[in-house]
Structure 1
Amino acid sequence: MTNLYGRPDSVRDHGLFSLSELKPAALWKLVERSVELFHDREAHGLPLRGRVAGVLFTRTSTRTRTAFQTGIVRLGGTPISYGPHDLQLNTGESMADTARVLGSMLDLLVARTAGPLDELRELSSEGGLPVINAMAAEEHPTQGVCDLATLALAHGGLDGLSLLYVGEGNNTAVALAYGMAMVPGARGTFVTPPGYGLPAEVLRTARQIAGAAGAELVETHDLAEVPEQVDVVYTTRWQTTGTSKADPAWRDTFRPFHVDAALMRRWPHASFLHDLPAHRGDEVAGEVLDGPRSLAWTQATMKLCSAMAVLEATVGPATG
């Protein structure tokens, strides 16, 4: 269980595993820095100059992988990229042995693996190097930083924001729940299909964090129970990257959670977010995703800026 009292003040020197492990001030620094870099990608002193960063992705990725590799280069570093079949992990070498080797050669590691978050913690502890979670089965924390930064950019701030999330309680939703829980006066309403909600432990931890921030986290399985006032509607792809669903009829369960123009009309001034990739006609209608209230493409651009912010925070600002 997350230790809420031992959360670090920053991601410096150890990387980022879960937003739940950060103090609010550390998260806000990442969000604010992401927005600064959105306005000016050159507003840094090349903090990764002379550093080598591993980029390990054993799952498909367009935005996150491109964002981190580009961010490493823009910050002056050298990326070393590994695909799903490039390391001897694929032939049976242990995670601990792999970590020791990577730690002896790299300055930091950005990783998306097929396994649980504990694998990333093992890479960090055994390798003695900071690791950035670029998506694990349990959580996608850098997406959460990106999402909050996009909202801060578009809405001029986060305090008191009312967000409605519609869809599966997946790793993106987990990061969003932890992030919204730290926003003073915010309300996060998660409408999830029955059997596909946020994990109970996540909901407990997020509500515990929210209690300290004066925020509110609600989960329901009925769109009729959503709040009257909503500033943001967020959805994600129904089939989360690298996962499958045991129930062959799962699409029937998800169909009522489709975000279309009729749903958006309930809140005429609400913006729309989607972490992409999107399947028009499934979780969202094309007219919503590509409509004037959609922030999805700003959100995609913010992936680079938030990746740069996390990378910079991990190694510290440039010196000299």
Structure 2
Amino acid sequence: MTDRDRLAGTSAAGLLSLRDLDAEALAGLVQRSVDFRRDPFPADRPLTDRAIGLFFTATSTRTRTAFTVAAIRLGATPLAYGPSDLQIGTGESIADTGRILGLMLDALVVRTAGPLADMRELARTSGMPLINAMATEEHPTQAVCDIATLAHHFGSLSGLSFLYIGEGNNTATALARGLALVPDVRVTFATPPGYGLPAPLLAEALEVARQRGTRMDEAHDMHRLPDQVDVVYTTRWQTTGTEKADPSWRETFRPFYVDETLMSRYPQAVFMHDLPAHRGDEVAGAVLDGKRSIAWCQAEMKLASAMAVLETTVADRS
């Protein structure tokens, strides 16, 4: 059985949340991402004559470019919609918009600062695969990219120790759900007090991780970090499309700054960042641009992982 055969039908709605995938399906996506990273020009072009919509109401550089190029590389035609292009902006319901798009498109990639529930409604009424390219609660395609980057860099993920530093945002949520499915890894989320992972999500991820032999925990004190890690990961402090109510939030976040001093605690660790980065806020420029940073390889993996997600969710749809 091929990866495509195994993954086909894992979710009629496409990829809305990593909660909807099992370990085998995620592993297949990761492997296909690594395959496309090595050979980004498939000869068979499995999405020939397909039409892929890209509805982005939130800013994007890497994700939008990755899915656009991915569609072209796989043989499909991408159609881009901005925040003011669809009649949703004039009052048409999400349900009606979904019904119309489902009559004409083969899949829809959506990025929004809104709730995941809206995407699920679009998927339900359109009847076509829908891919969550970021919602308020979760950024699943980023986690697929990140785990594929780890697989590409390290080969085997067994025994890997992963340290996330920063806000418990939609990227952290996706990483928690994704890494919980990877057996025999150690994951620590170091998050500022009051800005941790949502409690229900963390409890859910901890239970899944326990079943896979993975250790996962959360700390709010930078003095309680693991003694050894293989990966230090951070994201920018101001998550796309969000604002913080506390005017002094930067003081709360300041101890969670990734600089050369922190990296010196882990001399063998690589550094990852989902980008965009704000040098001097969440990370020092010397770390982001240093020899141990694989953030730019991680960004390059966005295209390969977008190809994997599109192929998986669209190619076998009649």
Per the normalisation by structure 1, the TM-score is 0.95
Letter in 1 for 2:80: S
1:202 paired to 2:201: yes
CA distance in 2, matches of 1:240, 1:110: 20
Letter in 2 for 1:217: M
Once the two structures are TM-superposed, the CA of residue 119 in structure 1 deviates from its matched residue by: 0.6
Residue of structure 2 equivalent to 1:259: 258
Once the two structures are TM-superposed, the CA of residue 180 in structure 1 deviates from its matched residue by: 1.2
Closer/same/farther in 2, CA of residues 190 and 221 from structure 1, 3 Å limit: same
- Map 1:155-166 to 2 at 5 A: 155-166=154-165
Residue of structure 1 equivalent to 2:3: none
Q: Is the 8 A contact 2:8 2:312 kept in 1?
A: no
Residue of structure 2 equivalent to 1:67: 66
Residue of structure 2 equivalent to 1:211: 210
Q: Is the 8 A contact 1:48 1:318 kept in 2?
A: no
> RMSD between aligned alpha carbons?
1.4
- Map 1:110-149 to 2 at 5 A: 110-149=109-148
Q: Which runs of 5+ in 2 are unaligned?
A: 1-6
Residue of structure 2 equivalent to 1:304: 303
Residue of structure 2 equivalent to 1:25: 24
Find the residue that maps to 2:53 and give its secondary structure: strand
Once the two structures are TM-superposed, the CA of residue 125 in structure 1 deviates from its matched residue by: 0.4
Closer/same/farther in 2, CA of residues 157 and 266 from structure 1, 3 Å limit: same
Residue of structure 1 equivalent to 2:269: 270
Residue of structure 1 equivalent to 2:44: 45
Letter in 1 for 2:281: D
CA distance in 2, matches of 1:248, 1:163: 31
Letter in 1 for 2:19: S
1:106-135 CA-partner distances (Å, limit 9, x unpaired): 110000123100111100101111100000
Q: Is the 8 A contact 2:42 2:74 kept in 1?
A: no
Q: Is the 8 A contact 1:9 1:23 kept in 2?
A: no
- Map 1:92-111 to 2 at 5 A: 92-111=91-110
Q: Is the 8 A contact 1:46 1:318 kept in 2?
A: no
Letter in 1 for 2:168: G
- Map 1:164-203 to 2 at 5 A: 164-203=163-202
Q: Is the 8 A contact 2:42 2:73 kept in 1?
A: no
In the alignment of these two chains, the number of paired residues is 312
Residue of structure 2 equivalent to 1:3: none
Residue of structure 2 equivalent to 1:86: 85
Find the residue that maps to 1:225 and give its secondary structure: coil
Q: Is the 8 A contact 1:45 1:317 kept in 2?
A: no
CA distance in 1, matches of 2:45, 2:132: 22
Once the two structures are TM-superposed, the CA of residue 317 in structure 1 deviates from its matched residue by: 5.9
CA distance in 1, matches of 2:206, 2:16: 19
Per the normalisation by structure 2, the TM-score is 0.96
Once the two structures are TM-superposed, the CA of residue 314 in structure 1 deviates from its matched residue by: 0.4
Seq. identity, %: 62
Residue of structure 2 equivalent to 1:154: 153
Once the two structures are TM-superposed, the CA of residue 205 in structure 1 deviates from its matched residue by: 1.0
Find the residue that maps to 1:84 and give its secondary structure: coil
Q: Which region of structure 1 is more displaced relative to structure 2, 284-293 or 155-164?
A: 155-164
Find the residue that maps to 2:223 and give its secondary structure: helix
